[in-house]
């Protein structure tokens, strides 16, 4: 890593191959049972800088940049419907990463995009994922179900990046800092939660990753929906204990978030949190406690 790049204090950094064409940037610290933390958009592993330090006092904590984000590799999307950025592929990255670090089973915590990867990992690898925590998302299939009418305007970026390759990439690249910075601003209730150096790192990392970020979102409007639908049709559910922290999106958009989660997770803890979307940075103590309570 560049010497001026922010890091998580006390964590060791390494690059770990997880697939033929993908090596992930990973921060690791602590000892004990492993917990992997997956970041969201438009962020990197640094979003966990507070939570990770607290968890590392009790667990081995693994914080990767997802494929296509941060300092991890960014393989090219070969077609709008290929598997390069399917959550199934990104979930397989997490299992390969854990095994490369010597862990056959681990708890998985995800925020935003990382939560979608974590949910898919838990569905695809139920004997590997011991516990699942999700921050401020619904499973992909439910996310699209509840986005309708004028309320869907809050998710305009989901529809923009769902379009075929070309136009979304060009539009976002033309004003990348404004595009990504918009979400850092409107989704944060406390601007102090993302200080200037971290914000600059998020913007620089996102600016350099426009094609892969768009490909990640495009997959969520295509192949990821197909995978979720297949699981729903087959009656597959999350077999491990699941903890969900969310803003009160259900009241805002007119749906019962807990009920939607219970359809996937019989062993569910669901709570709303009074902060913005970036809760690991705005309410790190709340997030750390929820994870520790889940995996104890």
SS (H, E, C) the chain: CCCCCCCCCCCEEEEEEEECCEEEEEEEECCCCEEEEECCCCCCHHHHHHHHHHHCCCCEEEEECCCCCCCCCCCCCCCCCCCCCCHHHHHHHHHHHHHHCCCCCEEEEEECHHHHHHHHHHHHCCCCEEEEEEECCCCHHHHHHHCCHHHHHHHHHHHHCCCCCCHHHHHHHHCHHHHHHHHHHHCCCCHHHCCHHHHHHHHHHHHCCHHHHHHHHHHHCCHHHHHHHHHHHHCCCCCCCEEEEECCHHHHHCCCHHHHHHCCCCCEEEEECCCCCCHHHHCHHHHHHHHHHHHC
**Catalytic, out of 39, 45, 59, 277:** 277
Give the confidence band of 80 by pLDDT, cuts at 50, 70, 90: low
Own/partner contacts of 193-198, CB < 8 Å, gap of 24 or more, are: 193/276, 193/278, 193/281, 193/282, 194/278, 194/281, 197/6, 198/6, 198/46, 198/49
Dist. CA 4–CA 23, nearest whole Å: 21
pLDDT at 2 (0 to 100)? 53
- Residues 132 and 108 sit within 8 Å (Cβ to Cβ): yes
Find how far residue 265's CA is from the centre of its chain. Answer: 18
Query: Is position 157 annotated as part of the catalytic site?
Result: no
pLDDT at 152 (0 to 100)? 86
Give the confidence band of 254 by pLDDT, cuts at 50, 70, 90: confident
pLDDT at 79 (0 to 100)? 75
Pick from 16-25, 71-80, 128-137: least confident: 71-80
Exposed/middle/buried for residue 18 (C-beta within 10 Å: 0-12, 13-18, 19+)? buried
Section 44-66 average pLDDT:
98
**Catalytic, out of 65, 73, 112, 142:** 112
Query: Is position 112 annotated as part of the catalytic site?
Result: yes
- The per-residue pLDDT for range 129-171, each reduced to its tens digit, is 999 999 999 999 999 999 988 888 989 999 999 999 999 999 9
Give the confidence band of 193 by pLDDT, cuts at 50, 70, 90: very high
Q: Tokens at residue 133, please? A: 């925590």
Residue 290 above 90 pLDDT? Answer: yes
Dist. CA 116–CA 105, nearest whole Å: 19
Give the confidence band of 222 by pLDDT, cuts at 50, 70, 90: very high
- Residues 177 and 204 sit within 8 Å (Cβ to Cβ): no
* Mean pLDDT taken over the chain: 95
Task: Check residues 260 and 79 and name the one with the higher pLDDT.
Answer: 260
Find how far residue 292's CA is from the centre of its chain. Answer: 19
* Share of residues in the chain with pLDDT > 90 (%): 89
**Domain 12-295 of CATH type 3.30.930.10:** no
Dist. CA 274–CA 266, nearest whole Å: 25
Residue 3 above 60 pLDDT? Answer: no
- Residues 71 and 231 sit within 8 Å (Cβ to Cβ): no
pLDDT at 100 (0 to 100)? 98
Q: Which is it for strands 34-38 and 106-111: parallel, antiparallel or unpaired?
A: parallel
Residue 200 above 60 pLDDT? Answer: yes
Of the CA atoms within 13 Å of residue 238, those in its CB half-sphere come to 30
Dist. CA 2–CA 34, nearest whole Å: 27
Residue 81 above 90 pLDDT? Answer: no
């Amino acid at each position: 890593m560049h010497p001026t790049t922010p890091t998580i204090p006390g964590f060791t950094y390494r690059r770990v191959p997880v697939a033929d064409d993908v090596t992930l940037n990973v921060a690791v610290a602590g000892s004990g049972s492993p917990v992997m933390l997956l970041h969201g958009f438009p962020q990197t592993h640094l979003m966990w800088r507070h939570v990770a330090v607290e968890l590392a006092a009790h667990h081995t904590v693994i914080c990767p940049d997802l494929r296509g984000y941060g300092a991890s590799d960014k393989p090219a999307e070969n077609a709008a419907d290929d598997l390069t950025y399917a959550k199934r592929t990104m979930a397989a990255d997490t299992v390969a990463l854990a095994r490369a670090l010597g862990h056959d089973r681990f708890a998985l915590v995800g925020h935003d995009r990382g939560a979608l990867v974590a949910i898919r990992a838990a569905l695809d690898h139920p004997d590997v994922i011991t516990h699942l925590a999700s921050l401020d998302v619904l499973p992909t299939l439910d996310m699209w179900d509840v986005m309708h009418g004028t309320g869907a305007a809050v998710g305009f970026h989901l529809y923009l990046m769902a379009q075929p390759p070309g136009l979304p990439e060009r539009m976002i690249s033309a004003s990348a800092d404004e595009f990504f910075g918009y979400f850092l601003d409107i989704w944060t209730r406390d601007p102090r939660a993302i200080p200037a150096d971290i914000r600059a790192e998020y913007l620089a990392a996102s600016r350099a990753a426009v094609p892969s970020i768009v490909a990640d979102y495009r997959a969520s409007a295509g192949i990821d929906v197909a995978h979720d639908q297949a699981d729903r049709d087959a009656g597959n559910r999350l077999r491990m204990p699941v903890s969900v922290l969310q803003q009160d999106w259900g009241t805002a958009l007119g749906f019962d978030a807990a009920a939607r989660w219970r359809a996937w997770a019989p062993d569910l803890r669901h709570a709303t949190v009074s902060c913005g979307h970036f809760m690991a940075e705005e309410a790190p103590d709340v997030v750390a406690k929820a994870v520790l309570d889940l995996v104890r």
